[in-house]
Structure 1
Amino acid sequence: MNPLAVGNSPEKGQLRLSWPDGREQRLDHVELRRQCPCSQCRAFRLQGLTVLVDSRVRVVEVHAQGYGVQLVFSDGHERGIFPWAYLARL
């Protein structure tokens, strides 16, 4: 299920998703960076390690990818594509 709308608020540090069932979801930029699904970040978490993220990190670009979004973070990280189902579970 794809959201009806995606909004990014760098000043609040939140990504907003509006789902077809009426649910509004707000996801914290820092937590999104910690939960990046790219292979490098996943491997780090699978080793039981925590991805260290500066509390000032923000999503600076959002690129639609059909089945999800690629998020570009202010720390330069841009490798992860976040599937809609993954975002809905966060």
Structure 2
Amino acid sequence: MNAPCALRNRREAGELRVCWGEVEQVISHARLRGACPCSQCRAGRLKGAISLVRDDVRVERIEAQGYGVQLVFSDGHERGIYPWSYLRELG
């Protein structure tokens, strides 16, 4: 999957806006954090653990990784890399 044409992190609103050509997705920071694809978070979800994510969690930084983005959250979590296809599924 190709990269989006634009990413806009709206910290104050707690949302990430992702532009896929003519379609714009809006994904909350809390949703992104709760769906973190890192191995630790995925393992917890597979075991049935429910991760409680605070509504005030924010994406502090976005690091390009070629096939997706690494998101750094205000709670210190920074292990997940969100491939473009996964990011699109979340919206």
**Do they fold alike, i.e. is TM over 0.5?**
yes
The TM-score with structure 2 as length reference comes to: 0.95
Gaps of at least 5 residues in structure 1 are: none
Give the Å deviation of 1:65. 0.6
Any residues of structure 2 matched to 1:50-61 within 5 Å, and which?
Answer: 50-61=50-61
> How large is the RMSD of aligned CA atoms in angstroms?
0.7
2:18 aligned with 1:17, yes or no? yes
The correspondence of residues 40-51 of structure 1 with structure 2, limited to 5 A, is 40-51=40-51
1:50 & 1:10 partners in 2: Cα distance? 25
The Cα shift of 1:61 comes to 0.3
2:82 aligns to what SS in structure 1? strand
The residue that corresponds to 2:80 in the other structure is 80
> What is the TM-score with the length of structure 1 in the denominator?
0.96
- 1-side partners of 2:66 and 2:51: how far apart? 27
Aligned residues: 89
Q: 1:32: how far off?
A: 0.4
Task: State the identity %.
Answer: 58
User: Which string of whole-angstrom CA distances, capped at 9 and with x for unpartnered residues, describes residues 47-85 of structure 1?
Assistant: 111111111100010111110000000000000000000
Query: Unmatched 5+ residue regions in structure 2?
Result: none
Query: What is the deviation of 1:2?
Result: 1.2
| SS at 1:60 equivalent | strand
- Rounded to whole Å, the distance in 2 between the matches of 1:75 and 1:32 is 13
Question: Could you say which residue in structure 1 is the equivalent of 2:8?
Answer: 7
Task: Point out 4+ residue stretches in structure 1 off by more than 3 angstroms.
Answer: none
